[in-house]
Structure 1
Amino acid sequence: MPPPACRTSAYMSVVSDRIRRELGRPIGINVLANASIPALSIASASGASFVRVNQWANAYVANEGLIEGEAARAMRFRARLRANGIRIFADAHVKHGAHAIVGDRPIEEQVKDLVFFDADAVIATGQRTGHAADLSYIRMIKDAAGLPTLVGSGVTPDNANDILDIVDGVIVPSSLKYDGVWWNQVDPQRVKAFIRGLKR
């Protein structure tokens, strides 16, 4: 039996390809925890447009242990795949981790590291899944990046328009699930209400 990482990559490649063909829209790939190489493999095989990498440039401590930045390995791998068209969406201070190992670099400097290591877009998050980031914090990340910026946690119908006044896009999983719980199925009524509430 192949290791789980191989099975995950194989399954996600097939499912992602089918979703992309069915929807006819760009899709992205994120493989936890910080698995940029499998994500790029899946994106290349399935025709996905981008990958999300939770720790791109530096290192942080999370429940998985010490997670190191993937930029150098991932960029070399992407070049070997001849897949330079796959964009990198990199988290700034990703949720569920401690980044201030020495505490001497503000978030703006960490964001500039993402830019230096050729990220194509930056993602701001709250402290954990489903938790919103403060608007001033989001603005700080957007201003430091000078790149397309998204918010990747805590986006709800109540705050989406305020967030979208600052950033270029949002990733909205938890608040669109039944009861607003991330592991539940998507609730079509919540999706409709969310879309209806957006300013055009």
Structure 2
Amino acid sequence: MTWLKEVIGTEKAIIAMCHFLPLPGDPYFDQEKGMEYVIEMARRDFLALQSGGVDAVLFSNEFSLPYLTDVKTETVAAMARIIGELMTDIKIPFGVNVLWDAKKSLDLAAATGAKFVREIFTGVYASDFGMWNTNVGETIRHQHRIGAKDVKLLFNIVPEAAKYMAEREIESIAKSTVFNNRPDALCVSGLTAGAETDSAILKRVKDTVPGTVVLANTGMRMENLEQQLSIADGAVVGTTFKHDGKFENHVDPARVKSFMDKVKAFRSQIVYS
């Protein structure tokens, strides 16, 4: 049994993305509608996901485009306010992701009681955001300094819109990441949000680190969920749940329910040892 059962309540867990609209300080923040509108839309999307039967939610500043790797205080403050406003509605486990800043994600988790964090914790990349470096040793020490040692860490080892500065096989990345950092999960992604995770790469990672939770991080849809969940321990799902399956749209409750009905049917056929 993995920690998914203990923390989220099920194996083959579906962690749904709740994408926040642009926030104060972001280039596309709507100052006329203000934070009240951002909160209203976040609540609507969250309730659609929760009522549709997802297992957990990951709150993210997905529309803070273009992303920073050193996120400003106003972003974290705005995200904390949104989650605080939603707290009485939240009945399922949740995590947070402050793109793309691992320390700020942990700060937000500590402030809100999030159970997990997804981030880029390791590696040096050539990315759309410039050269992207990390300092996992400092990040983990920061986690313990702020009292967030029980927050589960989901390591994205195939960052979106980025590539390792040095050529490395995915098996090598997975093995060394697990050996050096003891992640709670490895996330395997496609190129961008909504882009399908390559099932062959997913399998190579899982075969390399069978004792570690491996999640399909992008692009799971109705037509590939059985194939991917037969390999992965669960998935992070965002774009699929939106109207017409488009990243920029809001959550469609009917799509959430149909997807989760199929997931639950798939899970019912699995015998866990």
Q: RMSD in angstroms over aligned alpha carbons? A: 1.8
Residue 19 of structure 1: CA displacement?
3.8
1:112 equivalent among 168, 175, 180 = 175
- Residues 122, 148 of structure 1: 8 Å contact kept: yes
Does the 8 Å CA contact 2:116/2:153 hold for their aligned counterparts?
yes
- 2:87 & 2:175 partners in 1: Cα distance? 32
Structure 1 gaps, min length 5? none
Match of 2:47 in 1: none
The structural deviation recorded for 1:185 is 0.3
Return 21-30 or 178-187, whichever deviates more: 21-30
Contact 2:197 2:217 in 1 (8 A): no
Gaps of 5+ in 2: 1-23, 26-70, 269-273
1:191 is the counterpart of 2:256: yes
Q: Is the CA contact 2:189–2:217 (under 8 Å) kept in the aligned structure 1? A: yes
* 2:99 aligned with 1:32: yes
Q: Runs of 4+ in structure 1 displaced over 6 angstroms?
A: none
Q: Name the TM-score, length of structure 1 as normaliser.
A: 0.90
The 1:113/1:21 distance shift into structure 2, 3 A limit, reads farther
Please state whether the residue corresponding to 1:90 is helix, strand or coil: strand
Match of 1:11 in 2: 78
Query: 1:134: which partner in 2?
Result: 198
Contact 1:14–1:46 (8 Å) recurs in 2: no
The count of aligned residue pairs is 195
1:123 paired to 2:190: no
With CA pairs under 8 Å and 6+ residues apart, which has the higher RCO, 1 or 2? 2
1:49 and 2:49 matched: no
**Residue 70 of structure 1: how far off its partner (Å):** 3.5
The CA deviation at 1:18 is 4.4
Residue 171 of structure 1: SS of its match in structure 2? strand
TM-score under structure 2 length normalisation: 0.67
Structure 2 distance, partners of 1:162, 1:13, is 36
